[in-house]
Amino acid sequence: FREACLEGQRVLLDEVVDQENPTTTIVYPIVLRDRATKMVTIQVIAKIPNQPLKRYPIPAIPEAEFDGTLNQLQKLLAETPTNSNQTDLRANAQKVYKWLVAPIEQDIQTVESPQTKATTSSQAAVKVDTFVFVLDDALRNVPMALLWDGQQYLIEKYGIALSLGLQLFDPKPIAREPLKVLAAGLSEPPKGSSQEFGSLPNVEFEIDAIAKLGVPITSLLNQEFTSDRLGTQINADPFNVVHLATHGKFSSRAEDTFILAADGPINVTQFDSLLRSRDLARPEAIQLLVLSACQTATNDNRATLGLAGFAVRAGARSTLASLRNVSDESTPLLIEEFYRELNNPKETITKAEALRRAQISLLKGPRGYTAPQYWAAYVLIGNWL
């Protein structure tokens, strides 16, 4: 029922760019593998506002180089930052930048907005400030925020989001509605859970920081966070943000996709079931699902699809999540800044821009979290407005 309702609210990404958000460029990289020659060709197609789709030819890459570059980025992101691995990370990130973004940037320095296109004023041009990627193959596991142009990370220039399809649900900014958050968090994994899940001692600090921003929030912490309590609470009030600060894993296999509650894992099917009654009890959509301590499965190029499936079952228009494990110490700082930007009454910005500013707050901040290992893995999926 939930997915059927959303079906009628879908808008083509290209239409959103031309009509609703003429400062965004959509990038569609298509990975073609030639098994005979062991070469990879990336067909990069871009939708620049008020321009037709354009294909950018990229020279063929040896398959070993393509996979090796992406695997090395994954490996480096999992390491504790050092001067040496930061140099290696940037070198590999620059390769991906040259494949996906460099060919497009010369065409997006200035574009015309539909409102001013008919004028001849020099002020008619608007600047592209957001990139939305529809990724393919192993590129899905690479955080686009860390792409390096030789001087800057991509996130320093653009807000970034991912879309897993050619359409967008209900393209409306969340900032037009007051935030109302249901937060559930688990500091310690339940007994008997996998040893790969350690403690998350800063979960309470993370949720408390959101509350101190003046955001209306209802919290379920530790033993209060059970599947039944989550289901009951989510139907009790018109929450437009659901924030889950707990371990979880997302895979292309539904049976391997879950989040941890105090009474054990909640898989995709169970999550769908505990939300079903919301469709009848509450007409409001969940605008944003935040998964602040989850990760996608390693060596699974389609794991982000499992994450998106989890979000769709929640009826969420957008999802903020991590592609890998991130420091429990830096995460609350990034999350706090993200909510601060979204909740700013003096300025209305997109969710993509709120995430960009939150990531920049670590990259350029004084607390020792400047390396991409601390901020790059967070991605926004779905509605970036």
Tokens of 228: 């039944």
Task: Determine the straight-line distance between the first and last CA of the chain, rounded to whole angstroms.
Answer: 25
Helix/strand/coil percentages in the chain, nearest 5 = 40, 25, 40
The per-residue pLDDT for 111 is 59
Query: Cβ(82)–Cβ(381) under 8 Å?
Result: no
Residue type, 372: P
pLDDT at 6 over 70: no
Task: Return the DSSP state at 303.
Answer: H
- List, in sequence order, the alpha helices (H) in the chain: 2-7, 13-15, 63-77, 83-100, 102-105, 203-212, 227-234, 268-281, 303-313, 331-342, 351-363, 372-375
pLDDT tens for residues 136-179? 999 999 999 999 999 999 999 999 999 988 877 666 666 567 89
Confidence of residue 7 (pLDDT cuts 50, 70, 90): very low
pLDDT higher than threshold 50 for residue 383: yes
Average pLDDT (203-232) is 96
Task: Give the pTM.
Answer: 0.91
Q: Assign 1 a pLDDT band (cuts: 50, 70, 90).
A: very low
Q: What is the distance between the alpha carbons of residues 36 and 272, in angstroms, rounded to a whole number? A: 43
Mean pLDDT estimate for the chain: 87
Cα dihedral 201→204→205→207 (10° resolution): 140
- What per-residue confidence (pLDDT) applies to 123? 41
**How far from the centroid of its chain's Cα atoms is residue 195's Cα?**
26
223 token code pair? 């033993």
For 371-382, what is the mean pLDDT? 95
| Bridge pairing between strands 181-185 and 217-221 | parallel
| 309-368 pLDDT, tens digit each | 677 666 788 999 988 888 899 999 999 999 999 999 899 899 999 999 999 999 999 889
Under a CB-based contact definition with an 8 Å cutoff, are residues 243 and 181 in contact?
yes
In 3D, which of 348, 319, 321 has the Cα closest to residue 248? Answer: 321
Tokens of 195: 């040893």
How many Å apart are CA 8 and CA 259, to the nearest integer? 29
Q: Are 250 and 296 in contact (CB under 8 A)?
A: yes
| 3-state SS class at 229 | helix
Model confidence band, residue 2 (pLDDT cutoffs 50, 70, 90): very low
- Is residue 345 within 8 A of residue 353, CB to CB? The reply is no
User: Which tens digit of pLDDT belongs to each residue from 271-321?
Assistant: 877 766 666 567 777 889 999 988 766 667 777 767 766 776 667 889 999
Q: Distances from the Cα of 258 to the Cαs of 79, 146, 323, in angstroms?
A: 25, 27, 14
The Cα–Cα gap between 378 and 15 comes to 26
Cα 105 to Cα 100: distance, rounded to the nearest angstrom: 10
